[in-house]
Chain A
Amino acid sequence: MTALRDIQAAFMHDIYTGEQTSAIFLDASASSPARLSIYSNNTALGLADVLANAYPVVKRIVGEEFFKTLARHFLKAHPQPAGNRHMFGGDLATFLKGFVPASALPYLSDIAALEWAYFQSSIADDAENIDFNGLTAAMSADPAFVLALHPSVHVIEQSYNALDIWQEHQKAEPSTIQLTQEERTLVVWRTTDDSVLIRKASPAFASLLDCCQKDISFAEAMTIAGEGVHDMNAFQQEFAEAVILRIFARTKKETYS
């Protein structure tokens, strides 16, 4: 390992653990444990803010102090993964399932999953949507055409009626919602006016979206999704509404080259 790598590994370790292993690289006359702690504190405060910005309803439900504690534990287990700080916090729903102090709120993980999808959807890359005319033209030009999802699309599985609770918490004074356990698939995406939409997805529609994500051709995806569907009209209507609400895109997101 080079000197720079040694220094950066030690410094990063110290920031997330509060230890002082990088002190050996420092000039003692202008450095001290308290000065090194400035960077740990900045990170803890900064990431707590990032988390609060992405999870306003989780914060509202658990309260300011509990949220601070949650953030402190979470960032040690799941440090910021990229320089884009909007990427920090995506593991909160999974983390909450094992976070004992929150075990009295079993639906909190579902709320977190929904908020993360909502937040990510609101800032996802823009893309050119495809409408029915575009879809028809693409199918005629290429029978193996793959229908892409808009980059803002997120499909999430829920175990509770967390969507109802989340919607109630958009109000200034939320009422209490009766908690019920129910399996739901939600699809979250950003439509043309930049508002984020949340819809319950039928198993067939969820299957269609899954096929699109796996680059399966549209024709085959419709066949797979349609297997075992009892109410084909309802499925077609769900698909049509999604096209109108611009859930699909013309091409997949390009990667940098």
Chain B
Amino acid sequence: MQQHTLERSGIGLRSPHVRELLDSKANIGFLEAHSENYFGGGQPRKLLKQISEMYPVTLHGVGLSLGRADGLDEEHIRQIKSLVEDMNPVFVSDHLTWSGYSHIHVPDLLPIPFINEALDVFAAHVLEFQDKIGRQIIVENPSNYLAFANLDYTETEFLNALVDRTGCGLLLDINNIAVSAHNLGYYALSYIKDIKDDGRVKQFHLAGYQVNELEDGGKIYLDTHGKPVYPEVWELYAYALRRFGDVPTLIEWDADIPALDVLIAEAAKADDVRTRVKGERHDRAA
């Protein structure tokens, strides 16, 4: 496997930017491709291959449904395995969610009830997936719009136990932490503090959210990935860097996709925060 330090932050690979990224090397650390967009073959796959020859690439899954109660889809795993072999990604990630059950699926990331049975199922699926693709995966915390009753674990307890059982890593989405904390009424800083600090956090995601008013008059924070990173998320990010060290970081932007330069500038802001936090550490050490 290629070794990448990923000291520079990355951006999500979006189709409007592919040509520009191939025409000349952009000033970014890495690119994250949504695995399912490149299933099969043809032109999209060839372009991703070219991208992977110019930039470090990570593969981010949105459809495997690791939390489903009725077993993983073998064909889906076959497609990801094939991509992993072709693209040699730095990380392979997926979500602490589910999106399919009993042959019915949704193009969304659905919440998991943090009960013992769900942990058994999720851990078994992570182990199966890692075994079949022959490498560690990293699992991302979701954005939550509601909560289940009668739970055995908090989300952070569930994530910590998952890592302990499977040896997977974590992808902490700082924006999702902020969104969920607002929606479910907990402290985002406590969430970050509750994740064990032993090298299990392998990557951060940063993105912009949107605040909407619901039909019932309530306020909801939505993880829309359509705006710049909010100041509170930058602050949480700096806190997470202090806790977990200098972890590779990615800017996600999926809706109202801006020009490539805007995304590169957002990634550069993340680099600035990383430099600042590293400086604080050196100051303390001195």
| Docked CA distance A194–B49 (Å) | 15
**Is A105 part of the binding interface, using a Cβ–Cβ cutoff of 8 Å?**
no
Q: Which of B43, B73, B105, B117 contacts A79 (CB 8 A)?
A: B105
Interface membership of chain B positions 100-117, coded 1 if the CB is closer than 8 angstroms to chain A and 0 otherwise: 111111111010010101
**Is B74 part of the binding interface, using a Cβ–Cβ cutoff of 8 Å?**
yes
Q: Which of B118, B145, B184 contacts A38 (CB 8 A)?
A: B145
The B interface is mostly helix, strand or loop, or mixed, namely: mixed
Q: Assess whether A124 is in contact with B63, with CB atoms less than 8 Å apart.
A: no
**Neighbouring A residues of B79 by C-beta, 8 Å:** 84
Q: Assess whether A5 is in contact with B69, with CB atoms less than 8 Å apart.
A: yes
Query: Interface-forming stretch among B4-12, B216-224, B234-242?
Result: B216-224
| Docked CA distance A68–B217 (Å) | 26
The smallest beta-carbon distance between B93 and chain A, in angstroms, is 15
Count the A residues whose beta carbon is within 8 Å of the partner chain — how many?
52
**Is A104 part of the binding interface, using a Cβ–Cβ cutoff of 8 Å?**
no
Q: Assess whether B104 is in contact with A16, with CB atoms less than 8 Å apart.
A: yes
**Neighbouring B residues of A30 by C-beta, 8 Å:** 146-147, 183-185
Q: Which of A9, A46, A122 contacts B42 (CB 8 A)?
A: A122
The smallest beta-carbon distance between B179 and chain A, in angstroms, is 12
The smallest beta-carbon distance between B14 and chain A, in angstroms, is 14
Q: Interface residues of B toward A: which range?
A: 35 or more
| Docked CA distance A31–B184 (Å) | 8
Within 8 A of A (CB), among B137-163: 145-149
**Is B258 part of the binding interface, using a Cβ–Cβ cutoff of 8 Å?**
no
Q: Assess whether A7 is in contact with B148, with CB atoms less than 8 Å apart.
A: yes
Q: Assess whether A46 is in contact with B106, with CB atoms less than 8 Å apart.
A: yes
Interface membership of chain B positions 67-96, coded 1 if the CB is closer than 8 angstroms to chain A and 0 otherwise: 011100111111101000000000000000
Q: Assess whether A82 is in contact with B76, with CB atoms less than 8 Å apart.
A: yes
**Is A47 part of the binding interface, using a Cβ–Cβ cutoff of 8 Å?**
yes
The smallest beta-carbon distance between A123 and chain B, in angstroms, is 4
Can you show 20 pairs from A to B with CB atoms below 8 A apart?
A4-B121, A5-B101, A8-B98, A15-B106, A26-B148, A27-B149, A30-B146, A30-B183, A30-B184, A34-B218, A35-B145, A38-B220, A39-B145, A42-B106, A79-B104, A82-B73, A84-B36, A85-B36, A85-B63, A256-B77
Known interface pairs A12-B102, A35-B220; 18 further A-B residue pairs with C-beta atoms within 8 A, sorted by A's residue number:
A4-B118, A4-B121, A9-B102, A27-B149, A30-B146, A34-B220, A38-B145, A46-B106, A46-B108, A82-B100, A83-B63, A84-B39, A85-B36, A88-B105, A122-B43, A126-B42, A190-B42, A256-B81
